[in-house]
């Protein structure tokens, strides 16, 4: 049984190439993809609909868009897993993670991944997050 099949993923990224690549990949996993290009559009979606899982780019119209979206998603839907993907480390050298209690207290995401994801890695992590 493939747990990802027919699950709805909210994908928010201002990089159209990234949206295209991830949409193709996620649909290949059998998922329903709602792709938006901004923090604002993602916020509008979660106001009225609950995704099964969310993947947010860290930096969109704000440097911390992914953190804000993660916080808002978890506040409304505490059980929805959130993955933040970013190129911030390669772009700036800054490191983030959700490994310590302190990081988890302010980064509400369940997982933090660098862009350039391997499809198998993403599928494995999403399956782990969605497995009861």
Each domain of the chain, given as residue ranges in start order, spans 8-130
The one-digit pLDDT tens for each residue of the chain (132 residues) are 689 999 999 999 999 999 999 999 999 999 999 999 999 999 999 999 999 999 999 888 888 899 899 999 999 999 999 999 887 544 444 555 445 555 445 567 888 888 888 899 999 999 999 998
Task: Check residue 88 and give its pLDDT.
Answer: 56
- The architecture that CATH gives domain 8-130 is 3-Layer(aba) Sandwich (3.40)
- Write down the H helix ranges in 29-109: 39-48, 65-76, 88-92, 101-106
Angle at 75 between CA 58 and CA 41, to 5 degrees: 50
Q: How far apart are CA 12 and CA 48, in angstroms?
A: 16
Give pTM, 2 decimals.
0.86
């Amino acid at each position: 049984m493939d747990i990802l099949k027919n699950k709805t993923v909210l994908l928010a990224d201002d990089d159209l190439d990234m949206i295209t690549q991830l949409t193709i990949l996620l649909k290949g996993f059998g998922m329903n993809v709602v792709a938006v290009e901004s923090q604002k559009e993602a916020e509008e979606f979660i106001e009225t609909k609950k995704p099964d899982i969310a993947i947010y780019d860290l930096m969109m119209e704000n440097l911390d868009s992914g953190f804000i979206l993660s916080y808002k998603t978890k506040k409304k839907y505490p059980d929805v897993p959130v993955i933040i993907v970013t190129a911030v480390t390669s772009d700036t050298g800054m490191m983030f993670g959700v490994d310590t209690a302190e990081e988890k207290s302010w980064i509400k995401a369940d997982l933090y991944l660098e862009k350039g994801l391997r499809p198998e890695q993403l599928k494995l992590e999403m399956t782990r997050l969605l497995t009861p």
